[in-house]
A = this chain, B = another copy of it.
């Protein structure tokens, strides 16, 4: 019986691909083993178990998302950068719904957790987008969270088929980009302050 030649990276990559195919909730150790042409217990030579596998898939997804968004932003600024980042992020989530789902609800163990490192890298890509809007320091964190909520919310709702009604979804997303762009420019001009809401 020849060896399969597996290693942790190959197992995690196959697990991520399988999650994209069958949905993260249906990703099972047995199914993954079958896909790899191996018996289930053999996987434990490469990953610690299902929980460990999930965390590694989440880290991989975060890292890939950071690459996608970071790469898409290169050479753009302002509205173009925002649009590129948002489109790249949504495209990634829609192309890889399974591995992205793995990132939800996983809290990194410590700052050196690969998941945490990748998450900071993704955050950095969005921070670069904000730089073009010249937003005052106290507002940057808020704007970052707003941007992340918007992208995460839209992408996950669409991935979960949460938009059931009529209007075209791509059009809605472009509308959303324009909305965010206008809003962020208003932040620079001082229409939205970090202080308490206007009375």
- Which interface residue of A149, A157, A169, A176 has the most chain B CB atoms within 10 A? A149
Kindly state whether residue A192 has any CB partner on chain B within 8 Å.
Answer: yes
Interface of chain A, helix or strand or loop or mixed?
helix
Within 8 A of B (CB), among A47-92: 79, 83
The residues of B that contact A192 with a CB separation of less than 8 Å are 175, 178-179, 182
Q: Which residue in B149, B163, B177 is a CB contact (below 8 Å) of A150?
A: B149
Question: What is the chain B residue whose CB lies nearest that of A97?
Answer: B105
| Copies of this protein in the complex | 2
Chain B: minimal CB distance from A66 (Å) = 15
The residues of B that contact A198 with a CB separation of less than 8 Å are 178
- Are A174 and B196 interface neighbours, CB within 8 A? yes
Q: How far is the CA of A149 from the CA of B145 in the complex (A)?
A: 13
- Are A146 and B183 interface neighbours, CB within 8 A? no
- Are A197 and B178 interface neighbours, CB within 8 A? yes
Chain B: minimal CB distance from A148 (Å) = 7
- Are A179 and B145 interface neighbours, CB within 8 A? no
Q: Mark A127-158, 1 if CB is under 8 A from B, else 0.
A: 00000000000010111011011111110110
Q: How far is the CA of A172 from the CA of B147 in the complex (A)?
A: 11
Q: Residues of A with Cβ closer than 8 Å to B?
A: 25, 79, 83, 104-108, 116, 119, 139, 141-143, 145-146, 148-154, 156-157, 160-167, 169, 171-172, 174-183, 186-187, 191-192, 194, 196-198
Ordered by A's residue number, 27 sampled pairs between the chains whose C-beta atoms are within 8 Å are A79-B197, A104-B156, A104-B160, A106-B160, A116-B164, A119-B164, A139-B175, A141-B167, A142-B167, A142-B171, A142-B176, A145-B163, A145-B169, A145-B176, A146-B154, A150-B153, A151-B153, A152-B156, A153-B153, A156-B156, A174-B197, A177-B197, A179-B183, A179-B187, A182-B183, A182-B186, A186-B186
Q: What 5 A-B pairs come out closest when comparing CB atoms?
A: A153-B153, A149-B153, A141-B167, A142-B175, A149-B154
